[in-house]
Amino acid sequence: MQAHGPRGGRLAGRTAGVPLAQLAGSTGLGGQLEALRGRSVLLVTAEQLTAALALIELDGVARRMVLCPPDLAAAHLPHVIATAGAELAVYDAASPEQARSALPGIAASATLAPLPAPRRASEPTEWVLLTSGTTGTPKLVLHTLASLTSALAAAPPPPQPITWSTFYDIRRYGGLQIFLRGLHAGSLVLSDPAEPLGDFLARAAAAGVTHISGTPSHWRKVLMSGQSGRLSPRYVRLSGEIADQGVLDGLAAAYPQASVAHAFASTEAGVAFEVRDGRAGFPAALLQAAGGRTELRVAQETLQIRSPGTALRYLGESVEPLRGSDGFVDTGDRVEERDGRYYFLGRRGGVINVGGLKVHPEEVEAVINAHPWVRMSLVKARRSPITGAVVTADVVLKDSAGAPAPEVVARELGERCRGALAAHKVPAKFRIVTALEVSAAGKLVRPGE
Amino acid sequence: MSMHSTITSTFQQVAREQERMLSPLADDLPLLHCGLDSLSFALIVARLEDSLGIDPFEAAVQFPATFGDFVRLYQNFAK
């Protein structure tokens, strides 16, 4: 993996950074790499930079690496360890006690020491990622470096090095893709969950970041913060949630000099395609030609993907198959075609049932988010003794100076929704709130998840 | 506003939003034939829960037959 990328690149955390050229001859594992050769290793460092260095060092040496995000609940550790057959842990000074005591381990640090002898690769390491549900037991998803980089493999490094950044933690699929892109193309600036948003953007700008990725919820927070001007990106990328027209228009207005792209990607399905035309959804033509070796199809109104970038399988004994018998991965995202374009309706599992009629929260949110004074919204089910459920919406407005009164916005939203949606999809009530909860993975937190 | 007028105006507001022709809300008006569908009733009950703070349907009750029964259901529950 270290063969990628220009020699002048850098991997930078909030307070420390490492020149990429230094990595080949160095170790962050205190020279203990050989103890991990051929083993299944749990990466539980608290610091992202330490994790990044350990990933680079262990790839090709460990049999398997399990990338544990920092917010993994201690209660899930036994399940993760047992399912992955993890034998040893790599931890750092800030790793939680339960993670450190769960397995024999090796301390890692971002302060590198010289390696006595060149590193020898012995096998293609399995990369295991965890799915990002906030309350349920995570599923363990198996990738290899080949599946993780299949979208990159065809592309040569750019003529000028690029400095990438991301709001994501790199131990999640969305962040890992940017980590690999950064190493391939130049440099990477890591985020820090404790860092105020404006400071992160300023730090990224000072490091020369031009390409930056996050979820639509991450980007809505940027737009709401009043700090979006601290960075001048050339390329703004969204993935991980449905990118509706509201957030795409907001980013186009905030960054008129940037190319704004939304990518469809999931831990299981990989990166399927990217849309750069500034519109939500994707052109129907992608079903015929998605690019490279990626194939898309729609079956039972759901998007399915087959490509060398999909994960291989879930780990564990009685888990469902990740791929169908023909190799297609069911994304679980419902889509609808209108005038030659497909639009995302929402997650199949999130559907609300109103007297037998179905509604996806995301399609209602897209209508609400298009209102000029709305920044983001969360649509939920509210129990109804008559129809089982009715729809209700929590709405965050843009900066309050000049915003109309909440009752006015609520009335306008009702009119908008009645004009755009079938009656059962219109929220019974619009509640104006000051904030909505976004998970550590950067996604809007939905009830029951 | 009395409970009767709150309920009346909620019925009328929902009928307007749903673009339905609501029969005059007399005490003996059968709700099955008043011009509203089940979605409209669900919206009315949700809004009354917010404005009156009560949901008489939380116990399994027979859906009221007339508008007058509906109003009395709420008045009795509030006592």
CB A378 within 8 A of CB A216: no
CB A243 within 8 A of CB A195: no
CB A350 within 8 A of CB A334: no
| pLDDT tens by residue, B3-55 | 999 999 999 999 999 999 999 999 999 998 899 999 999 999 999 999 999 99
Res A143: pLDDT: 97
- End-to-end Cα, chain A, rounded Å: 36
The minimum CA-CA distance between B46 and chain A, rounded to whole Å, is 7
Res A133: pLDDT: 56
- The CATH number of A351-433 is 3.30.300.30
Query: Residue A329 above 90 pLDDT?
Result: yes
Average pLDDT over residues A76-85: 95
The minimum CA-CA distance between A383 and chain B, rounded to whole Å, is 9
Average pLDDT over residues A311-331: 92
Task: Say how many domains are in chain B.
Answer: 1
Query: Residue A291 above 80 pLDDT?
Result: no
The domain locations on chain A are: 10-344, 351-433
A428 vs B contacts (CB less than 8 Å): 42-43, 46-47
Q: How confident is the model at residue A73 (pLDDT cuts 50, 70, 90)?
A: confident
Q: Which amino acid is at A13?
A: G
Q: How confident is the model at residue A3 (pLDDT cuts 50, 70, 90)?
A: very low
Instruction: Please list, in sequence order, all residues whose beta carbon lies within 8 angstroms of the beta carbon of residue A22, skipping any fewer than 6 positions away.
Output: A112
Q: Which domain holds residue B57?
A: 3-78
What are A124-128's contacts with CB under 8 Å, separation 24+?
A: A124/A60, A125/A58, A125/A59, A125/A60, A125/A61, A125/A62, A125/A63, A125/A64, A125/A65, A126/A63, A126/A64, A126/A65, A127/A59, A127/A64, A127/A65, A127/A67, A127/A176, A128/A64, A128/A65, A128/A66, A128/A67, A128/A84, A128/A315
Question: Helix, strand or coil for residue B17?
Answer: helix
Instruction: List the single residue in A with minimal CA-CA distance to B18.
Output: A423
| Interchain contact A405–B (C-beta under 8 A) | no
Instruction: Please list, in sequence order, all residues whose beta carbon lies within 8 angstroms of the beta carbon of residue B16, skipping any fewer than 6 positions away.
Output: none
B31 vs A contacts (CB less than 8 Å): none
| pLDDT tens by residue, A134-171 | 457 899 999 999 999 988 876 777 888 899 999 999 99
How many helices and strands in chain B, by DSSP H and E? 3, 0
- Strand A26-27 and strand A352-354: the pairing is unpaired
Nearest to B41 among A386, A414, A423 (CB): A386
Res A134: pLDDT: 46
| pLDDT tens by residue, A423-442 | 999 999 999 999 999 988 88
| pLDDT tens by residue, A352-384 | 999 989 999 999 999 999 999 999 999 999 999
Instruction: List the single residue in B with minimal CA-CA distance to A428.
Output: B43
A424 vs B contacts (CB less than 8 Å): 39
Assign residue B30 the CATH number of its domain.
1.10.1200.10
Which CATH fold topology does A10-344 show? Answer: Rossmann fold (3.40.50)
The whole-chain average pLDDT of chain B stands at: 92
Best residue of A382, A384, A421, A425 to probe chain B, by most B CBs closer than 10 Å: A384
**Largest distance between two CA atoms of chain B:** 34
The whole-chain average pLDDT of chain A stands at: 92
The minimum CA-CA distance between B7 and chain A, rounded to whole Å, is 16
Average pLDDT over residues A87-99: 92
Q: Cβ of B50 and A414 within 8 Å?
A: no
A385 vs B contacts (CB less than 8 Å): 45, 55, 57-58
Query: Residue A78 above 90 pLDDT?
Result: yes
| pLDDT tens by residue, A264-282 | 999 999 998 999 999 999 9
| pLDDT tens by residue, A48-63 | 999 999 999 999 999 9
Q: Cβ of B38 and A355 within 8 Å?
A: yes
Res A307: pLDDT: 94
Instruction: List the single residue in B with minimal CA-CA distance to A414.
Output: B17
Nearest to A428 among B38, B43, B55 (CB): B43
Q: What percent of chain A has pLDDT above 90? A: 77
